[in-house]
Amino acid sequence: MGKSFKAAAVQMVSTTSVEQNLLTAERLIKEAADQGAGLVVLPEYFAIMPQTNQQRLENGEIHGKGVVQEFLHKQSKKHKVWLVGGTHPIMSGTSEKPFGRCYIYDDSGRRVEYYDKIHLFDVDVNDPHKQYRESDYTSAGEKVVTFDSPWGRVGVAVCYDIRFPEMFRKMSKQGVELIVFPAAFTQATGSVHWEVLLKARAIENLCYLVASAQGGIHQNKRATFGHSCVISPWGEELVSKSLGEGVVVSLIDLEEQKKIRTKFPALKHRKL
């Protein structure tokens, strides 16, 4: 496990155009790499924020093939970064409802893992949309995913997952030092719950957490909260960006994390 490295959270205001979004993502990945980031996290729906389900299906891909997957492969290799590819619709094979899939590529452009979003956003919210029913157009994943990196074990979660601490505890039991978290939190829920949930998950698992968000008003009229950030194992917000596209980069000090876990060994005190 390395002592320290830099991680970046990319914030976007994705449109209905995959081509436009990928150009934006490419620019922001380069910006993160130029600042020394070894790990770059893209937000949920980074390649398309669809206005209709038809747009979602038309731009969905099959596993192992497609414009978005090729983009992630090329960008990780070109910039020599580990790249967490937000989410993109990937056809499930058994349903017309694709998975919300997050691909992870290493710095040679090799796909090392993927995660299908488990918890789907089926809620009523006090905003212009009023009602969200993600399960109407998305298939749910079933498997908690962690993977090995040059800096230790990393866990992956997406957006609504943050409200389910048992998922993160399972990651913790698998030895994660860092959690990557692509999201597209609504403005209504993010303004009250985003920061406190991120900090809670980081504190209770004594993990760094890199949260990459959508942040602005989209073509489909959806308002996302933004506030991409990096949270320390002690619950400190190390860097943050409120709204609009951009990049935040922070040092991930794994030696400091080790000291915190030694002095405050809550993970070893678990009983239930």
User: What residues are annotated to the active site?
Assistant: 44, 117, 159
**d(Cα 202, Cα 260) in Å, to the nearest integer?**
12
Rounded Cα gap, residues 90 and 88, in angstroms: 6
The token pair at 220 is 């489909």
Can you tell me the distance from the alpha carbon of 26 to that of 12, in angstroms, rounded to the nearest whole number? 11
Task: Report the distance separating Cα 240 and Cα 252, nearest Å.
Answer: 14
Strands 122-124 and 39-41: unpaired
Taking CA atoms, 237 is separated from 86, 136, 209, in Å, by: 21, 35, 10
Measured CA to CA, the distance from residue 135 to residue 50 in angstroms comes to 15
Residues in the chain: 272
Check: CB of residue 150 under 8 Å from CB of residue 2: yes
For residue 85, count CB atoms less than 10 angstroms from its CB and return exposed for 0-12, middle for 13-18, buried for 19 or more: buried
